[in-house]
A and B are shown apart, each in its own frame.
Chain A
Amino acid sequence: MPPDLDAAAAQAGNNSSDFVRKLYKMLEDPSYNSVVRWSADGDSFVVLENEKFTKTILPKHFKHSNFASFVRQLNKYDFHKVRHNEESGDTPYGRDAWEFRHPEFRADRKDNLDNIRRKAPAPRKPTQAEDAFPATQQIVVLSESLAATQHQIQALQEQYFELAQTNKVLVNEVVSLQKMVRAQSQVSNELITHLNNIEDRRRNSRHSNHSSHSSHSGPSFHPSTLGLLPDGADEPAPELRRAREILNGVSPDSQADRDLERLSVAYHQNGSPSDSATSSVMFTQPGAPPQMPLVHDPINDPRHMVYPVGQTTGIDPFHSDHIHNIPYSRPLSNPNIMTEAPSQSSPPAKEQFVSLWGSKKPKILLVEDDKTCARIGSKFLSNVDCSVETARNGLEAVDKINHESDRFDLIFMDIIMPHLDGVSATAMIRMVAPRIPIIAMTSNIRQEDIQTYFQYGMNDVLAKPFTRDGMVRILKKHLSYMLKDPQPIGLGADDTNQTAGAPGPGPPNSAGGYGGSGPAGVAMATMAGGGQVKFEQTPIQSPATTSSWHSPSQMPHTSPTLDSSGYMSAQIGSGPGGIVLTPGGTQRPPYANQVVPQVGTPTLGRMPDGMGLGDDRPEKRQRLYGPSQGQYVQ
């Protein structure tokens, strides 16, 4: 044996084969023969008596008494248990014996021990390298889903906040209603008392008239005995009594009252008392029908849900400023938020859009005060083959429309702008261009905001920061009649869309006053999607509609949905059914003054809502009334 090799082996051995050396040394000891020894061939070793080995030999040589650890250690050095049963069925060392073998571990090859090493953890390295790429991918995916989750949480927080706000308003409402009712019952009591007195006096006087001679027998006794008098005198009395009984019988649920009291006190401590102040003002005015709001509210509420079906499903969950491209309108497209990032990385869409339009390309007016946003928006639009003009504020936009009312096919309108804000501009534009779709572009997409936008004649909302896809979606939806191939929209209302849109944007007079229910109005209905069922309730609660359209036939119809199928196909897209069907139509009158009844008529229940809205955004309210008040110079 060459000495240099030996030395090398020894050196390596120091590092790696301590365990193997100990093992070999242990097997050299003949006194262990009955417990552990080399096999006959010297190519394996056998633990004959497991228990003894564990208790006596292991501690001596390996400083522990755990057979399992010993076996694990062996495995690490690539020893394997020899299975006898499987191979031949004979067990030369007894059933409880453990035989271990390693190809290099032999009784006659002590010099070879250094070749027995721990199994390298080698396999990991290559896999790690392979994993590296998927790992970054995973991180991307994870961080994306994390961001999405964060957005959701944030949105939920905001939703919660809004709900809390609404609840507060409601509680205040109920409290003031309670006061109202209490006052009413007090009034009733007073009236009854008063009537009683009159009654008594009248009875007395009649009684004294008829039987002035028998005076002292007491008035209460006479009515029952005198058969002639009761007609006038006796009959009202039980009614009064009943009335009083009823009044007394209605004892307030004191527990509920106390709870409510606590709530309202809590709210007053937390928030602005203005809500309750305004609402109580609202409710003391009407006097006579204090119950009406209660009766109407439940009917009124669905109306709130009607046009923004997206309001609950589309906006609320995601109305944070930080989310890009919130598809306000269609619950369908909500997943966009999640899928946006992936969809960005698929640019081939570009080619597809070149041929998006039919013979005529849409002309878009982009009203946006921010240079950067305007440039990006213009670029996105021209990229999908639209011609774009921009206006830097509401005033410029109004000028352009005044100059040529049918120049544009669609307007994207920023909300907060200097000189004239987008909502006011829209109201003005509606006077000359009742049909053109006007899309609010804004990061203020709380539902009160959106309600305002719709009330002043806007048709849809594109959340800021806007994306190209978001813009395209709006274009496809509102300019479906200009598409070369309108099929892809693939919505149930597509047919109506086409028929209504067929006349084109040119002659709006075909539908007379309600030109508003052109393609845009229908699109609103489209937007509401499956919400048609809800519309069934609209005719009940929308007196404005009935009065303005003078449609006597409307009330008898129980289901406007039926109407729509009848009338819409008859090209009267704006018949009574049509209007009711498309709340956008009613919400979007051509003239601003029609908005007022819209807001005002539907009972008191609605008013506090409006008030809350005003509270929230005082600066907007101000600016609605013209540029003079706007300190927003830019």
Chain B
Amino acid sequence: MSHTYDRDGEDSFNMAYFGDHVHLATFNQILEMDEDGEHDFSEPLVFNFFEQADETFENMDVALAAEDLDELSKLGHFLKGSSATLGFTKIKDSCQVIQQYGHKQTVEGTAEPDKAVCLGKIKEAINTLKTDKIDLEKTIKKFFGIEDK
């Protein structure tokens, strides 16, 4: 799959390509930082993010086992920042869920005092997060023309 840069077609191409995983305007401005169609900025950036995500997942698992809501919220917030800046919408949304329930709040901001409920929601969100990340990573690898091992 070739990735010649054709500005007009790019957006619609990407749209079809990434589906709802990626906020295109945001991701495109990252791609725009690349020089002449080489992904020398965006590619390492994105894969560093995936590493960062994997580390965060591990920390989340630990915090979940320890039922440490504060830590979970913090981790959610942490990953939310970078995923949002990259435009990785689905990941960002799950992070938001984790951050909120870590604060014992629903996504809408109302209080959820039941810790078990919060942990349940967070567990769910972490699972979604992991699946979404795997899907996204595959798509992105294809996009950058990298073969999956």
Contact = CB atoms under 8 A, between A and B. Distances in A.
A631 interface: yes
Contacts of A375: 45, 48
Contact of A370 (B7, B32, B74, B81): B81
B87 to A, nearest CB: 8
B127 interface: no
Nearest to A618: B103
B94 to A, nearest CB: 13
B25 A341 contact: yes
A199 interface: no
A482 to B, nearest CB: 23
Contact of B86 (A140, A161, A376, A379): A376
B149 to A, nearest CB: 23
A372 B25 contact: no
Given A340-B25, A341-B25, A376-B86, A140 B15 contact: yes
Contact of B81 (A157, A443, A468): A443
Given A157-B108, A347-B32, A383-B33, A443 B84 contact: yes
A631 B32 contact: no
Contact of A468 (B29, B49, B87): B29
B85 A379 contact: no
A217 interface: no
Given A140-B12, A324-B26, A372-B52, A158 B109 contact: yes
B33 A464 contact: no
Given A157-B108, A341-B25, A375-B45, A380 B33 contact: yes
Interface string A149-169: 000000001100100000000
Interface in B1-48: 7, 10-12, 15, 23-26, 28-30, 32-33, 41, 45, 48
A321 B80 contact: yes
A632 B68 CA distance: 13
A376 B30 contact: yes
Interface string B64-89: 00000010001001101110111100
Contacts of B82: 370-373
A561 to B, nearest CB: 39
A386 B97 CA distance: 36
A465 B28 contact: no
A137 B12 CA distance: 8
A183 B109 CA distance: 37
Nearest to A342: B25
Interface in A584-634: 631-632, 634
B48 A136 contact: no
A350 B7 CA distance: 15
Contacts of A456: none
A340 B24 CA distance: 11
A467 interface: yes
A93 to B, nearest CB: 60
Nearest to A321: B96
A324 B26 CA distance: 8
A372 B23 contact: no
A609 B109 CA distance: 19
A140 B81 contact: no
Contacts of A466: 85
B84 A321 contact: yes
Contacts of A322: 84, 92-93, 96
Contacts of B80: 321, 443
A632 B84 contact: no
B84 A379 contact: no
A345 interface: yes
A274 interface: no
B84 A465 contact: yes
A345 B7 contact: yes
A134 to B, nearest CB: 12
Contacts of A464: 81, 84-85
B81 A373 contact: yes
A21 to B, nearest CB: 50
A467 B108 CA distance: 25
B70 to A, nearest CB: 7
Contacts of A416: 77
Nearest to B30: A376
A345 B52 contact: no
A344 interface: yes
A634 B25 CA distance: 30
Interface in A419-470: 443, 464-469
A26 to B, nearest CB: 55
A372 B77 contact: no
Contacts of A467: 26, 29
B12 A634 contact: no
A324 B23 contact: yes
Contacts of A376: 30, 33, 45, 85-86
Contacts of A465: 26, 81, 84-85, 87
Contacts of A347: 7, 32
Contacts of A137: 12
Nearest to A631: B70
Contacts of A468: 29, 32-33
B15 A372 contact: no
Residue of B7, B29, B109 most packed against chain A (CB within 10 A): B29
B90 to A, nearest CB: 12
Interface in A329-349: 340-341, 344-345, 347
14 contacts: A140-B11, A140-B12, A140-B15, A161-B109, A322-B93, A322-B96, A344-B29, A372-B48, A372-B52, A372-B81, A372-B86, A380-B33, A464-B81, A632-B74
7 closest cross-chain pairs (CB), A and B = A372-B82, A465-B84, A465-B85, A341-B25, A344-B25, A370-B81, A379-B33
Interface of A: 136-137, 140, 157-158, 161, 321-322, 324, 340-341, 344-345, 347, 350, 370-373, 375-376, 379-380, 383, 416, 443, 464-469, 631-632, 634
Given A136-B12, A344-B29, A375-B48, 20 more contacts: A321-B80, A322-B96, A324-B26, A344-B32, A345-B28, A370-B78, A370-B81, A371-B48, A371-B52, A372-B45, A372-B85, A376-B45, A376-B85, A376-B86, A383-B33, A443-B84, A465-B87, A468-B29, A468-B33, A632-B74
